[in-house]
Amino acid sequence: MEIRRNTMRIGKYGVILLMFFAFNPAFSQKVEMVYTTASERWVKAKKFLSKETAANATDIVVYTDSLLQEIDGIGGAFNELGWDALEALPKASSKQVFKDLFSDEGCNFSMCRIPLGASDYALSYYSSNDVPEDFEMRDFNIDRDRYILIPYLEAALEVNPELKIWASPWTPPAWMKVNDHYAMRSGEFGNALDGNKMNPEAQILNNATAFKMQERYLKAYALYFSKFVQAYKKEGIELFSIQPQNEIAYQPNWPSCTWRPEDMGYFISEFLGPQFKADNLDAEIWLGTVNSGDPNYVRTVLKFKDASKYIKGIGFQWGGSKAIPTIHKEYPGIKLMQTENKCGEHENDWTSLESSWNTLVHFLNNGAGSHMYWNMVLDETGKSAWGWPQNSMVVVDRNAKKVTYTDEFYLFKHVSHFVQPGDHYLKSSEGKNHAVFKLKDGRIAVLVNNPKDTQETLNIIINEARFAVNVNPKSISTLLITE
- Counting other chains too, the contacts that 28-34 makes at CB distance below 8 Å and 24 or more residues apart are 28/465, 29/462, 29/465, 29/481, 29/482, 29/483, 30/481, 30/482, 31/467, 31/469, 31/479, 31/480, 31/481, 31/482, 32/479, 32/480, 33/469, 33/477, 33/478, 33/479, 33/480, 34/414, 34/477, 34/478
CB 260 within 8 A of CB 208: yes
**Regarding beta strands 475-482 and 444-450, do their DSSP bridges make them parallel or antiparallel, or are they unpaired?**
antiparallel
- Taking the C-alpha atoms of residue 284 and residue 387, their distance in angstroms, rounded to an integer, is 34
Label residue 284 left, alpha or beta by phi (over 0 means left) and psi (-120 to 50 means alpha).
beta
**CB neighbourhood size of 111 (10 A):** 25
Q: Is the pLDDT of residue 267 over 80?
A: yes
pLDDT of residue 398: 97
Q: Report in angstroms the alpha-carbon separations of 323 from 101, 123, 263, 393.
A: 30, 33, 20, 27
Task: Compute the Cα dihedral for 329, 434, 71, 358 and give only its sign.
Answer: positive
- In sequence order, the β-bridge partners of residue 2 are 23
Angle between helices 407-416 and 350-364 (to 10 degrees): 30
pLDDT of residue 348: 97
Cα torsion at 99, 100, 104, 108 (round to 10°)? -110
* CA 306 distance to own-chain centroid: 27
- Taking the C-alpha atoms of residue 98 and residue 101, their distance in angstroms, rounded to an integer, is 5
Specify the pTM: 0.92
282 vs 464, residue with greater confidence = 282
pLDDT of residue 50: 87
Q: Is the pLDDT of residue 371 over 50?
A: yes
pLDDT of residue 71: 98
- In sequence order, the β-bridge partners of residue 16 are 9
pLDDT of residue 55: 61
Q: Is the pLDDT of residue 449 over 80?
A: yes
pLDDT of residue 35: 98
CB 401 within 8 A of CB 88: yes
Task: Compute the Cα dihedral for 204, 134, 309, 291 and give only its sign.
Answer: negative
Averaged confidence pLDDT in the chain: 92
Work out the angle at residue 23's Cα, subtended by the Cα atoms of residues 19 and 28, and round it to the nearest 5 degrees: 115
Q: What is the DSSP letter of 51?
A: S
* pLDDT single digits (tens) 322-358: 999 999 999 999 999 999 999 999 999 999 999 999 9
Burial of 405 (0-12, 13-18, 19+ CB in 10 A): buried
Q: What are phi and psi of 75, to 5 degrees?
A: 180, -150
- Taking the C-alpha atoms of residue 331 and residue 349, their distance in angstroms, rounded to an integer, is 37
Work out the angle at residue 34's Cα, subtended by the Cα atoms of residues 478 and 409, and round it to the nearest 5 degrees: 80
- Taking the C-alpha atoms of residue 253 and residue 170, their distance in angstroms, rounded to an integer, is 12
In sequence order, which residues have a C-beta less than 8 Å from that of residue 37 and are 6 or more positions away? 472, 473, 474, 475
**Regarding beta strands 30-36 and 424-428, do their DSSP bridges make them parallel or antiparallel, or are they unpaired?**
unpaired
**CB neighbourhood size of 413 (10 A):** 25
Task: Report percent pLDDT > 90 for the chain.
Answer: 87
* pLDDT single digits (tens) 3-61: 233 333 333 333 322 222 334 444 567 999 999 999 999 999 999 998 776 565 668 99
Q: What are phi and psi of 232, to 5 degrees?
A: -65, -35
CB 312 within 8 A of CB 241: yes
* Among candidate residues 21, 27, 42, 56, the one with its CA nearest the CA of residue 469: 27
pLDDT of residue 104: 97
Q: Is the pLDDT of residue 279 over 80?
A: yes
* Among candidate residues 43, 44, 51, 58, the one with its CA nearest the CA of residue 24: 51
pLDDT of residue 23: 40
